[in-house]
């Protein structure tokens, strides 16, 4: 799962990237390049299970973040599209908006508060998608004059027209109620407004303590209307806390009224917004969390672990984490009949401990 950080210059993207991944974004990077980093999603269930199984290896779920170049609203369309291209491979977008106030960090007045930045960013994405749809429609239209469109092209054309009409009214592709099939038909456009999107408001210490920032109610209204996820972080302060010795962190977090680290809040919001859940595998070799879409069946979940396991899937043994924890051993759980043997169609749920049984 890859998430691209998009925002105006000096909004705190690189600071938040460092908070989430521990990677210093200032390290050797050419102008205009994006930087990838991995953030570990802490999961107390994995920690508990690791304590029980004492495996050789413990693996938490991860999220990949991409610190993108800043979107400079003053630069021309071509340069802005170059920045936006970095979004192409992202499964989801994080729109970083600056709320923190610091006279030492330049901030042109016209960039405005968090709400106007959010408005500017979502408009950028809409305009880009509108251009892509128009270009594709023109190309297909020209082809259609030379020869009869294939059935796929005809289907794509009609969905493109829907998309274009919606985008023209300022509606993101994710709001157009296109079916999965229709989205596939316009897949080559890679619409950015079809991607799940979360807004990250970067606040300062005072705002964090007060629980409010300028433009908050508009941001919340925009997120509600646009079905965007919303997380409030203080990139700088939380990164500073993260660099303290572990024993000191709790004190500072408590003082700020933070109950969990930024990555955990963001991961939870992202999982919720993207409809992701984790299932768990256990054993002497490894205890591990795996990320899947809600509603994934046992066989497809097996494919996450290894394509071979999907191909040779016979059945799966499943026990919810909470149930397992009353027995704390698979043999014990089995003896009490709480491990279910399920077929390939069984939907795997968040926190299920899963053992895949595969044939030859
Ligand atoms: N005072 C304050 N400064 C911050 C905060 N977050 C980031 N900064 C500073 O703002 C500047 C720009 O941050 P950076 O992460 O590089 O922004 P980017 O251009 O979006 O990548 C840096 O000097 C940061 O130290 C914050 O919460 N409070
Ligand atoms: Mg940066």
Q: pTM here?
A: 0.91
What pLDDT does residue 299 have? 97
Q: Is residue 308 part of a domain?
A: yes
pLDDT in tens, 154-196: 999 999 999 999 999 999 999 999 999 999 999 999 999 999 9
**Mean per-residue pLDDT, 99-105:** 94
What pLDDT does residue 257 have? 86
17 Cα nearest atom in ligand 1: 15
203 Cα nearest atom in ligand 1: 27
Q: Is residue 193 part of a domain?
A: no
Q: Is residue 69 within 6 Å of ligand 1 at its C-beta?
A: no
- Cα 69 from Cα 8, distance rounded (Å): 9
Q: Is residue 98 within 6 Å of ligand 1 at its C-beta?
A: no
What pLDDT does residue 134 have? 95
What pLDDT does residue 321 have? 98
Q: Is residue 315 part of a domain?
A: yes
Q: Is residue 326 part of a domain?
A: yes
Q: What sections of the chain are H helices per DSSP?
A: 13-21, 44-53, 77-84, 114-146, 151-168, 180-185, 205-210, 216-226, 235-242, 246-255, 262-274, 298-305, 307-311, 321-327, 330-335
Which H/E stretch holds residue 284? none
Q: Is residue 56 part of a domain?
A: no
Instruction: Give 9's contacts (C-beta < 8 A, 6+ positions apart).
Output: 70, 71, 72
Q: Is residue 353 part of a domain?
A: yes
- Cα 118 from Cα 171, distance rounded (Å): 15
Domain of residue 340 covers 295-358
324: its two tokens:
């397992």
Q: Is 238 exposed, middle or buried (0-12, 13-18, 19+ CB in 10 A)?
A: buried
pLDDT in tens, 220-236: 999 999 889 999 999 99
Confidence of residue 17 (pLDDT cuts 50, 70, 90): very high
Q: Is residue 344 part of a domain?
A: yes
**How many domains are contained in the chain?**
1
Percent of the chain scoring above 70 in pLDDT: 99
**Mean per-residue pLDDT, 253-279:** 89
- Spatial contact of 94 and 4, defined as CB atoms under 8 Å apart: yes
pLDDT in tens, 33-92: 889 999 998 899 999 999 999 999 999 999 999 999 999 988 898 888 889 888 888 999
CATH number reported for the structural domain that contains residue 312 in this entry: 3.10.20.30
What pLDDT does residue 26 have? 67
Residues less than 5 Å from ion ligand 2, measured at CB: 13-14
What pLDDT does residue 73 have? 87
Query: Does residue 30 surpass a pLDDT of 80?
Result: no
- Cα 63 from Cα 169, distance rounded (Å): 33
> To test ligand 1's pocket by mutation, which of 9, 12, 94, 208 has the most ligand atoms within 8 angstroms of CB?
12
Task: Spell out the SS3 assignment of 135-180.
Answer: HHHHHHHHHHHHCCCCHHHHHHHHHHHHHHHHHHCCCCHHHCCCCH
Angle of CA points 265, 269, 271, to nearest 5°? 115
Confidence of residue 28 (pLDDT cuts 50, 70, 90): low
pLDDT in tens, 306-332: 999 999 999 999 999 999 999 999 999
What pLDDT does residue 27 have? 66
Ligand located closest to 13 CA: 1
Q: Is residue 328 part of a domain?
A: yes
Pairing mode, strands 286-293 and 57-59: parallel
- Cα 268 from Cα 41, distance rounded (Å): 9
Q: Which residue has the tokens 């974004």?
A: 25
202 Cα nearest atom in ligand 1: 27
**Mean per-residue pLDDT, 233-241:** 91
- Cα 7 from Cα 113, distance rounded (Å): 13
Residue ID of nearest Cα to ligand 1 atom 11? 10
195: its two tokens:
């991607």
Pairing mode, strands 276-281 and 286-293: antiparallel
**Mean of per-residue pLDDT scores for the chain:** 93
């Amino acid at each position: 799962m890859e998430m691209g950080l998009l925002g105006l210059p000096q909004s705190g993207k690189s600071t938040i990237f460092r908070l989430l991944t521990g990677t210093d974004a200032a390290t050797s990077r050419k102008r205009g390049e994006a930087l990838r980093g991995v953030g570990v999603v802490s999961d107390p269930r994995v920690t508990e299970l690791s304590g029980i199984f004492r495996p050789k290896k413990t693996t938490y779920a991860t999220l990949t973040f991409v610190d993108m170049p800043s979107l400079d609203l003053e630069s021309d369309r071509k340069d802005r599209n170059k920045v936006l291209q970095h979004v192409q491979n992202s499964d989801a977008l994080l729109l970083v908006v600056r709320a923190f106030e610091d006279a030492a960090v330049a901030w042109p007045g016209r960039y405005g508060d968090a709400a106007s930045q959010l408005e500017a960013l979502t408009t950028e994405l809409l305009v880009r998608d509108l251009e892509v749809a128009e270009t594709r429609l023109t190309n297909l239209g020209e082809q259609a004059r030379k020869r009869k469109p294939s059935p796929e092209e005809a289907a794509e054309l009609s969905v493109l027209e829907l998309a274009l009409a919606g985008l023209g009214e300022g509606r993101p592709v994710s709001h157009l109620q296109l079916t999965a099939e229709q989205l596939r038909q316009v897949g080559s456009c890679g619409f950015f407004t079809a991607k799940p999107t979360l807004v990250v408001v970067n606040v300062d210490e005072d705002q964090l303590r007060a629980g409010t920032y300028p433009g908050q109610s508009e941001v919340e209204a925009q997120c509600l209307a646009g079905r965007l996820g919303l997380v409030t972080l203080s990139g700088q302060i939380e990164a500073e806390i993260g660099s303290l010795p572990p024993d000191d962190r709790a004190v500072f977090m408590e003082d700020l009224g933070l109950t969990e680290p930024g990555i955990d809040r963001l991961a939870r919001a992202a999982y919720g917004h993207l409809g992701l859940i984790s299932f768990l595998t256990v054993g002497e070799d490894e205890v591990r969390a795996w990320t899947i879409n809600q509603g994934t069946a046992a066989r497809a979940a097996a494919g996450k672990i290894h394509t071979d396991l999907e191909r040779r899937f016979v059945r799966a043994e499943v026990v919810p984490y909470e149930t397992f924890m009353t027995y704390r051993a698979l043999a014990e759980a089995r003896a009490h009949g709480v491990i279910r043997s399920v077929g390939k169609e069984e939907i795997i749920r968040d926190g299920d401990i899963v053992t895949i049984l595969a044939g030859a």
